[in-house]
Structure 1
Amino acid sequence: MKRVCFLIFCCTLYTQLWAQEEYKPANSKFEQLGTMLPTPNTYRSASGAPGPDYWQQKADYDIKVQLDDEKQHITGSEVITYTNNSPDELTYLWVQLDQNLFSKDSDTYKTETGTLNDNLSFDALDFVKREKFDGGYKITAVKEKSGAKLTYNINKTMMRIDLPRPLKPKGTFAFSIDWNYNINDQKKLGGRTGFEYFEKDGNYLYEIAQWFPRMAVYDDVYGWQHKQFLGQGEFALPFGDYKVAITVPADHIVAATGECQNLNQVLTSTQLKRWEKAKNTKEPVVIVTQQEAEQAEKSKAKGTKTWVYQAKNVRDFAWASSRKFIWDAMQVNIAGKKVWAMSYYPKEGNPLWGQYSTRVVAHTLQVYSKHTIDYPYPVAISVHGPVFGMEYPMICFNGGRPEPDGTYSEQIKYAMISVIIHEVGHNFFPMIVNSDERQWSWMDEGLNSFCQFLAEQEWQRDYPSRRGEPYKIVPYMKSDPTALVPIMTNSEQIMQFGANAYGKPATALNILRETVMGRELFDYAFKEYSRRWAFKHPHPADFFRTMEDASGVDLDWFWRGWFYSTNPVEIALADVTHYQINTQNPEVEKPLAKEQANPQTLSKIQNAKDIKSTLQERDTAVSDFYNSYDPYQVTQADRAKYQRYYNSLTPEEKELVDSGLNFYVLSLKNNGGTIMPLIIKMDFEDGTEKVVRIPAEVWRMNNQEINKVLFTEKPVAQFTLDPYLETADIDTENNAFPRKSVPTRFQLYKERKMTPKNPMQQQREAAGQMNTN
């Protein structure tokens, strides 16, 4: 650090020292988003709340579906009752046919890009298998409630139904659709739905989703949301009530959205007793045991059984079915209401699933309810099967399977816990706060990943969360700019999907909570957004505006940098200059001046040894006045002059001159483009430390480079910018002054064959060896 003394004149210190930075008119970082956001109206207010005329459509379903376990086939019929709550007269309706993703002429397959090389795995040619799979819906009938046929047109993953007469505001229209399709082998063909075949016992496990023609959203922002489903952008769906009758093999256990209406017809008396017991315990109770599931695997009963489920005010419906299912359940208290937490899994999931799954479900409901709204549904279910992670109202599909010997790696354990938290958490975003996933993936994935981070940290101290901490997004922020797109990018065009839609928005919210807003303001505003938009259809502006409205914090600069741009955070502490006040006291200033004027140099050190004596030392004839004169000696005249000066000062000015304060001018450069608050840690020479936090508005006059003056009573040995890695700064090597060198350690080793065994297997093996010895 450069060290400089400065002379002050009465009443001029602050004018001299805190001069304004140069204002740059081109600076737009702190301009309001303005026209980048839609104009508020009576449907969506400027505060981010639903307006007085807000409306949304309703779609109710009565569905009957049958699972063919021999052919892996679905046959279904449904009656949809559609209520037009909009002010518009509708002449047609749009229905989503997402299962057409698997049809042979799917645009998903046609628009995939890639190449081939000389060495390919069989899995790399999955697209050949897909071409042979006869997927997609077979629509066999579309009729009015009266039975009259309706005209319809199928456009890939969308179907337009032409109404026989306009559907007026507040009117309803009921119609039926019959359909069937082949279920995809999820392990071979991928997807968010499908079956898994267990060759060892010859049984199937089905996780069934996107399985029925579903109404598209019609809202005040886009009208009909009928953007084609290409596989990445998920779903936009209206709320409604469901009654679903699911016919499956007689020995199958069915998990589904909602509550089962006929448990006494589908469970044994012993299983019903276990169900009743689970209502009053604090630990999961096994409803269907592993022994019962294994017996069903072997016997494979004939005939069928129908499970009837009902769900109120949900946006979708999914289910799972298998004779392999073990089923456990418990109830968790959410704001005085008992909610079922349940898990369904094959024996291949144990011991992990029996130990953790339902407990994770319960934990997730409690933590998310604390940070958003109280979980309103009667049940939350986690199912283990072929789909590693996918969410639906009250039910989700999750991965994480131990080795056949029951051991598992730490990675598998935490991957399983994290995916259950994430997918159960999706009940809140977007199943309740019902954002448009087809357009904005971050509004559910990002917000949910943020809450997942909170739940993980409350599960276990220092939980190894994959996303949330700012430093973990740095590799993505340092990516090649050509591989980056803003968070505010349509779901189907996102590159590096996981980092963009999950990681970056989760990190941004964590930074808002910890660094920009503080936990109290952030938590209140985030809960307010959840409360305002529960069971409604929010869009990005509603979130941005609510967070500002409820907190009183202007965040447009933050949305602009983190959500609308790809600029990284890279703020450098370029230089530090140390100033001290020139007291004008000759007893203090002259010794300092002498020290600065006569620094010790190598030549002086060498000359002291090599030159035995100088001519002047040997011959006094060459000496004069100046050989004995010391310009740094304090004279009586010096003392008198200082006393006159000191006596002229006010008591406040004397206190400042006598303070011994250290002033530091920090030169900072914004090399990345995204502005952030400044967090500056000062390590003092006496071993103590202090952290100063400066709001992002410090950049408002110049967002490229600024100087900031700090003063301290004690001298500073080291300044460090962003010491706790709060801002996702992509280059921390220029964050310290003086610069600090961090060595990279290297390892010497002999080549050896690495064991693929997990630590549990290694410990068992070691214990076995010890026993044999």
Structure 2
Amino acid sequence: MKKLTYLIIAMGFFATATYGQVVNSNHGKRFEQLERMLRDPSVYRTASGAPGPKYWQQKADYKISATLDDENQRLTGSETITYYNNSPDPLEYLWLALDENVRQPDNDSYKFDPSSIRPRMSYGQIDALDGHDNDWGFHITKVADAKGQPMTYIINQTMMRIDLAKTLKPGEKISFNIDWWYNTTNRSESGARGGHEYFPEDGNYIYTITGWFPRMAVYSDFQGWNNKQFTGRGEFALTFGDYDVEMTVPADHIVGSTGSLQNAKEVLTSEQQQRWAQAQKEFVEPVKIVTLEEAKENEKEGTTATKTWNFKAENVRDFAWTSSRKFVWDAMAADIEGREDHPMAMSYYAKEAYGIYERYSTKAVAHTLKTYSKYTIPYPYPVAISVEASNGMEYPMICFNYGRTLPDGTYSEATKYGAIGVIIHEVGHNFFPMIVNSDERQWTWMDEGLNTFVQYLTEQEFDNNYPHRRGPAAKIAPYMALPKDQLEPIMTNSENIIGFGNNAYAKAATGLNILRETIMGRELFDFAFKQYAKRWAFKHPTPDDLFRTLEDASAVDLDWFIRGWYFTIDNVDISVDNVKWFKLDTKNPDVEYPIAEAAFKEANTDVADKRNREEGLEFYVEEDERLQDFYYSYNQFEVTDEARTAYQRFTATLSDEEKALLGDDKNFYEIEFSNVGGLVMPIIIEWTYVDGSTEVETIPAYIWRKNEDKVTKAFMKDKEVAQIRIDPYRETADTDEANNYWPRNNQPTRFELYKSRGGGARGQSFGANPMQKANGGN
């Protein structure tokens, strides 16, 4: 019987409480402190969001030699990895990432997405139903220790485990060798981030070599080994280290790479070396190391001779490079506050992109470094490179972007801004996650969302009229208004997200913008965000570290916002439900009696009485005067001497302040708001007065803490109000703006008659191309 009693009590508790809040309560849930949802602080990560006194992370150094076979589009490589166990844990095995294996024919990534038979299907779609028979992915030919002895290993799709003959103890290091090769893929066929693109017009290739070598997985204090499989979407969790890389390529190729070129005298002509020296002194216009004319000549050549380019990079988490004989190469120095030396902003691009990239690319790189450095830390690396490769992907010091002109050299405005935007975005990834090294495999938004946010700030500083895709709050509202079965919280693994771009990029970035512009203010937010970047530069932060740092550095309670914006699928929809207008009763009969009389008549208006008088109906009380007594002519609203005397006695009891209030003719408004969407926000009210003037007033989000569904707020105003609108600057991502007005302000939604149009290449826009028309084109 006692056990049953305990069971009933326990069931009652869990039925009525969640984190100390009653389940069906209308208050408290959204303002519960966030600590219960975060990892406990430790000696590795403090409650303030900073690295702890015993924070540690592993290190992996690489020495790699690779040869690019331009005839067969194959890459062959050999690497020596030196791995440092800085953890307090003994390790019996190591995990390495083989990301290129995601393209192997038997990889699960081909199988786990739903498919269907459509009325119209391409050959590729039909062929995919029969599986894949390509020879893509790594071919591992050797795994050996420093003495050349074979090591035991097993490959599980995109992960490789090496079993150690001897436990790697804390503080120890191990070196081992891996030989491998793989066939680079045609990116248009494989959808891969790295690979090659073929240009049939001149018979040449552009190679983007990424994810190209077996590399160490992250072993961390909060997870242990991150050996979650790479499926093609959730990107990378990587370890910092130093790289010494040699790439052997056709002698007429130009190579761009992570790191600094070590053997310029061996691979560049004397003229190219002179141009490179000149570029390091130029801050205004890029200097062309390889000109367009030279690139066109290179396209015509072709050789069996080779050159070996040597690059070194320190304290980077990855390494990527590009190679082609098609490249124009230009460069200029970037003036970064806080650095006495100047990193080089550079671009590599073929003639197909010349019209856009020659004008914009390198300057966009330099602008991005300058702006991101202002909001985070001074850019620490020696170079930052933009490569036009008809895609968008990022690696330390180098990124691959798109933005080509039409054959006649013209382009639309959308193509131009698309190219500038992707350059800013991908170069910006140098900061998130290449420096502030979050785990992309788990938390895509910490990489893409934070980067998209600073991209938005960078675009703003590039051009005041920049056509932003992501960042302004109103642009994310349509996504947040979707049916709930199409939404996931931002704190969702990337493979499980339906609206990937809106969720991990746009919504995450917009949340930071709302914090900066609306919740915290620019000064507090900018300091806290910069503090996060400084704390976690070249380290492995988690979402907990970001959330805690923002609060720790600002003294702003953000738990309610973080809980709602990042952990739920609630949307913002605050409605103005009712407005009541009040005037203060002055007690002055000369003022109040006429008002009361008008109100009495209004309240007693009767359509039948009105029509009776219009028809000339004879009333009995008017025909027979004996029916007319004292009350027939009595006016209860007549201002009498007695009433005036009573008013004088009343005012004599008032203070000067009270008398002034009675004489100010103030307007009082009581507004009822409801939280329709569920996500609490400040209530930002724009008052428009009868005289046409306006005023904006902000009520903090804490107004909702005692009732998260409905609140009533009273206001005193000098002027009479003509209209009330909430969120006038569209800064809270309110999904239904129709209920933001009192009185309601209905505007017609316009629609158009259109003719269907065909598609275009990536980076090229629909619609008119005024530049082409101005040049005499169609």
Correspondence for 1:9:
none
Q: Does 1:716 align with 2:721?
A: yes
Q: Does 1:429 align with 2:432?
A: yes
State the 1:601 CA deviation.
Answer: 7.2
Q: Report SS of the residue matched to 1:338.
A: coil
Q: Does 1:760 align with 2:758?
A: no
Correspondence for 2:351:
347
Correspondence for 2:8:
none
Q: Does 1:636 align with 2:641?
A: yes
CA deviation map 1:717-747 (0-9, x unaligned)? 1111111111111111111111111122355
Find 1:338's aligned residue among 331, 342, 347: 342
Correspondence for 2:58:
57
- Contact 2:362–2:386 (CA<8 Å) still a contact in 1? yes
- Matched ranges for 1:333-732 at <5 A: 333-335=335-337, 336-386=340-390, 388-599=391-602, 610-611=615-616, 623-732=628-737
Question: Distance in 2 between the 1:709 and 1:84 partners?
Answer: 63
Question: Distance in 2 between the 1:750 and 1:96 partners?
Answer: 49
Against the structure 1 CA distance between its residues 242 and 654, is the aligned structure 2 distance closer, same or farther, given a 3 Å change threshold? same
Q: Report the AA paired with residue 376 of structure 2.
A: T
The alignment-based identity, stated in percent, is: 54
- Contact 2:27–2:708 (CA<8 Å) still a contact in 1? no
State the 1:606 CA deviation.
Answer: 5.7
Question: Distance in 1 between the 2:752 and 2:208 partners?
Answer: 47
CA deviation map 1:141-196 (0-9, x unaligned)? 00111111111111111111111211111111000100000001001111111100
- Contact 2:450–2:508 (CA<8 Å) still a contact in 1? yes
Question: Distance in 2 between the 1:394 and 1:531 partners?
Answer: 19
- Contact 1:65–1:247 (CA<8 Å) still a contact in 2? yes
State the 1:132 CA deviation.
Answer: 3.0
CA deviation map 1:497-530 (0-9, x unaligned)? 1011001011111110111111111111000000
Aligned positions, number: 744
- Contact 1:42–1:53 (CA<8 Å) still a contact in 2? yes
State the 1:576 CA deviation.
Answer: 0.6
State the 1:611 CA deviation.
Answer: 3.2
TM-score by length of 2: 0.93
Q: Report SS of the residue matched to 1:29.
A: helix
Q: Does 1:310 align with 2:321?
A: no
Against the structure 1 CA distance between its residues 323 and 750, is the aligned structure 2 distance closer, same or farther, given a 3 Å change threshold? closer
TM-score by length of 1: 0.93
Against the structure 1 CA distance between its residues 700 and 524, is the aligned structure 2 distance closer, same or farther, given a 3 Å change threshold? same
- Contact 2:456–2:471 (CA<8 Å) still a contact in 1? yes
Q: Report SS of the residue matched to 2:553.
A: helix
Q: Does 1:735 align with 2:737?
A: no
- Contact 2:364–2:420 (CA<8 Å) still a contact in 1? yes
Question: Distance in 1 between the 2:657 and 2:34 partners?
Answer: 46
Correspondence for 1:297:
299
CA deviation map 1:35-66 (0-9, x unaligned)? 21000000000000000000000000000000
Correspondence for 2:16:
none
Correspondence for 1:280:
281
Q: Report SS of the residue matched to 2:64.
A: strand
Name the Cα RMSD after superposition. 2.1
Q: Report the AA paired with residue 480 of structure 1.
A: P
Q: Report the AA paired with residue 418 of structure 2.
A: A
State the 1:408 CA deviation.
Answer: 1.0
Question: Distance in 2 between the 1:601 and 1:340 partners?
Answer: 84
State the 1:405 CA deviation.
Answer: 1.0
- Contact 2:668–2:716 (CA<8 Å) still a contact in 1? yes
- Contact 2:64–2:80 (CA<8 Å) still a contact in 1? yes
Question: Distance in 2 between the 1:126 and 1:205 partners?
Answer: 27
- Contact 1:126–1:188 (CA<8 Å) still a contact in 2? no
Question: Distance in 1 between the 2:519 and 2:290 partners?
Answer: 49
CA deviation map 1:508-564 (0-9, x unaligned)? 111101111111111110000000000000001000000000000111111110000
Question: Distance in 1 between the 2:84 and 2:544 partners?
Answer: 26
Q: Report SS of the residue matched to 1:443.
A: helix
CA deviation map 1:650-692 (0-9, x unaligned)? 2333233333221111101111111011101111111111111
Question: Distance in 1 between the 2:754 and 2:342 partners?
Answer: 57
Q: Report the AA paired with residue 667 of structure 1.
A: E
Against the structure 1 CA distance between its residues 272 and 548, is the aligned structure 2 distance closer, same or farther, given a 3 Å change threshold? same
Correspondence for 1:6:
none
Q: Report the AA paired with residue 772 of structure 2.
A: Q
Question: Distance in 2 between the 1:254 and 1:263 partners?
Answer: 11
Q: Report the AA paired with residue 366 of structure 1.
A: K
Q: Report the AA paired with residue 69 of structure 2.
A: D
State the 1:696 CA deviation.
Answer: 0.6
Correspondence for 1:106:
107
Q: Report the AA paired with residue 80 of structure 2.
A: V
- Contact 2:683–2:701 (CA<8 Å) still a contact in 1? yes
Q: Report the AA paired with residue 74 of structure 2.
A: H
- Matched ranges for 1:69-84 at <5 A: 69-84=70-85
Question: Distance in 1 between the 2:493 and 2:529 partners?
Answer: 23
Question: Distance in 1 between the 2:658 and 2:118 partners?
Answer: 78
Against the structure 1 CA distance between its residues 252 and 748, is the aligned structure 2 distance closer, same or farther, given a 3 Å change threshold? closer
State the 1:760 CA deviation.
Answer: 2.0
- Contact 1:433–1:536 (CA<8 Å) still a contact in 2? yes
Correspondence for 2:20:
none
Q: Unpaired runs of 5+ in structure 1?
A: 1-22, 769-773
Correspondence for 2:96:
95
CA deviation map 1:97-138 (0-9, x unaligned)? 001001111111121222121211345347369813210100
Q: Unpaired runs of 5+ in structure 2?
A: 1-23, 760-765
CA deviation map 1:387-418 (0-9, x unaligned)? x1100000000011111111111111111110
Q: Report SS of the residue matched to 1:112.
A: coil
- Contact 2:216–2:239 (CA<8 Å) still a contact in 1? yes
Question: Distance in 1 between the 2:623 and 2:243 partners?
Answer: 111
Question: Distance in 2 between the 1:697 and 1:661 partners?
Answer: 27
Question: Distance in 1 between the 2:767 and 2:694 partners?
Answer: 46
Correspondence for 2:43:
42
Against the structure 1 CA distance between its residues 605 and 302, is the aligned structure 2 distance closer, same or farther, given a 3 Å change threshold? farther
- Contact 1:332–1:340 (CA<8 Å) still a contact in 2? yes
- Contact 1:526–1:547 (CA<8 Å) still a contact in 2? yes
